[in-house]
Structure 1
Amino acid sequence: MADHDLLRVFCGPDGQHGNALAVVRDGSRVPDGAARQALAKKLGFSETVFVDDPERGVIDIYTPTLRLPFAGHPCVGAAWLLDVPELVTPAGVVGTRLDGEFTWIEARAQWAPPRTLRQYGSAAEVDALPVPPPGEWIYAWAWLDEAAGRVRARGFPGRGDGIDEDEATGAAALLLTARLGRALNITQGRGSQILTAPQPGDLIEVGGRVRLGGVHGGTQPG
């Protein structure tokens, strides 16, 4: 198995939680799509990133079952790890910046895969939701403090690939920000934090904390 870095993206203020991400820095060791898909399935994370050009920031993103032209938490994690001014994805060029403890990407809502954004009346309702059956990708959300832009959210991919709930989902946060047209401070999953802010030119920034979770090679992470 190709060596890979294990990151946690969109960690909470205490550095805990975050969505696990595998990054294969040397994408040439897994050169074709079928092999990349097989490795992403074996690793079992919601996404795995393959770096095809570390200097230019060219990346390739896979879930356990499909290739994605763009995804939020893989781009934030790759931006932090590679420390480049932009990332090149099949969807387009993603601007990046590091600002203290936060890593930010700048992308367009239309690059994000489709999500069903489902609003609930309270955070307690969101917390009480069971995992829905496989089908549509649901981003369940409610206001914690509407005036302050604070949101409680949970993400249910519905793909039937073993990822019943996504701990932190940048692409869904991007779509919710585009719909609401305002900056958001999202608490997702068990305690992950995602920050967003609309920018000129229909761009949206998505930011969060990234922590290095360890380097794995030859074994499947737990």
Structure 2
Amino acid sequence: MNNARVDIDVLRVFCAPDGGHGNALGVVRDGSRFPDEAARQALAGRLGFSETVFVDDPERGVVDIYTPGRRLPFAGHPLVGVAWLLDIGIMELAVGDVFARGDGEFTWITAEPGWAPTRTLRQYALAAEVDALQTPEPGEWVYAWSWQDELAGRIRARAFPGRAEGPVEDEATGAAALLLTQRLGRALNISQGRGSQLLTAPGADGTIELGGRVRLEQTLTLPPGSPTAPAHREDPDDGP
């Protein structure tokens, strides 16, 4: 990294109707400032968000996605966030092109559910059972869910990545929502985490639209020459 400051936009993706909650996302608009995978992984680990995105070409939507521990070929909430931030209609990923659109307060992407990493989708009989779950030990990636209103397609969900680094529970998980939508074969309105909202709609061609609200929470600045930034801390009461 050269000796100029770096700004990192911190977004909240899949916010509640009042703008609260949502999953934190770090976006480095000038990805060239971190030219290799090791530098990007180090920054993502230091920031501590569930994902950090490096934008390599804002016009073509070429992005590179990292968790605190590894690089990802696809992830839902980073792409919804970047589509909103850059106001672009297509993003180029190694897995394929991801199309995006705005619709009032919502930003939507269209993706193949097969791009999503494998998750254990574990159904519970009651939403209260999902609410009462304790964080499991690191290991299996579990998306716990139950119907809140099956007729209306309303879901209660929580996500436990099973990782030793980064957040032990994801506030809102787009890739898992794609997999659940594929399994159930219908549009869903998902309440996840402390109150985030994700919307999905399956298409006739097997793709799925994934949408939600996005807001800019803050912009972090790395001073010139600094290889890392202050670690992010999830506050259980953050958001308006």
Contact 2:49 2:166 in 1 (8 A): no
Distance across 2 between alignment mates of 1:66 and 1:160: 12
Distance across 2 between alignment mates of 1:115 and 1:125: 19
Aligned twin of 1:158:
162
Distance across 2 between alignment mates of 1:178 and 1:216: 37
After TM superposition, the structure 1 stretch with the greater mean CA deviation from structure 2, 101-110 or 157-166, is 157-166
Aligned twin of 2:184:
180
The share of aligned pairs that are identical, in percent, is: 70
Aligned twin of 2:174:
170
Q: TM-score, structure 1 length as denominator?
A: 0.98
Q: Shift of residue 16 of structure 1?
A: 0.2
Aligned twin of 1:98:
102
Distance across 2 between alignment mates of 1:112 and 1:49: 17
Aligned twin of 1:19:
23
Q: How does 1:36-185 map to 2 (within 5 A)?
A: 36-185=40-189
Q: Shift of residue 159 of structure 1?
A: 1.1
Higher relative contact order (CA 8 A, sep 6+): 2
What amino acid is aligned across from residue 97 of structure 1 in structure 2? R
Aligned twin of 2:238:
none
Aligned twin of 1:3:
7
Q: Establish whether residue 29 from structure 1 lines up as the match of residue 33 from structure 2.
A: yes
Distance across 2 between alignment mates of 1:143 and 1:91: 31
Contact 1:2 1:30 in 2 (8 A): no
Distance across 1 between alignment mates of 2:92 and 2:71: 15
Unaligned 5+ segments in structure 2 are 223-228, 234-240
Q: Shift of residue 197 of structure 1?
A: 0.2
- What is the number of residues matched between the two proteins? 222
Q: Shift of residue 2 of structure 1?
A: 3.3
Distance across 1 between alignment mates of 2:155 and 2:98: 25
Distance across 2 between alignment mates of 1:90 and 1:191: 32
Moved over 2 A (4+): none
Unaligned 5+ segments in structure 1 are none
Q: Shift of residue 136 of structure 1?
A: 1.1
What amino acid is aligned across from residue 132 of structure 2 in structure 1? A
Aligned twin of 1:190:
194
Contact 1:22 1:45 in 2 (8 A): yes
What amino acid is aligned across from residue 198 of structure 2 in structure 1? I
- Residue 168 of structure 2 aligns to a residue whose secondary structure is coil
Q: 1:215 aligns with which of 200, 216, 219?
A: 219
Contact 2:45 2:166 in 1 (8 A): no
Q: Shift of residue 203 of structure 1?
A: 0.5
Contact 1:26 1:52 in 2 (8 A): yes
Q: Establish whether residue 204 from structure 1 lines up as the match of residue 208 from structure 2.
A: yes
- Residue 84 of structure 2 aligns to a residue whose secondary structure is helix
RMSD across aligned positions (CA): 0.9
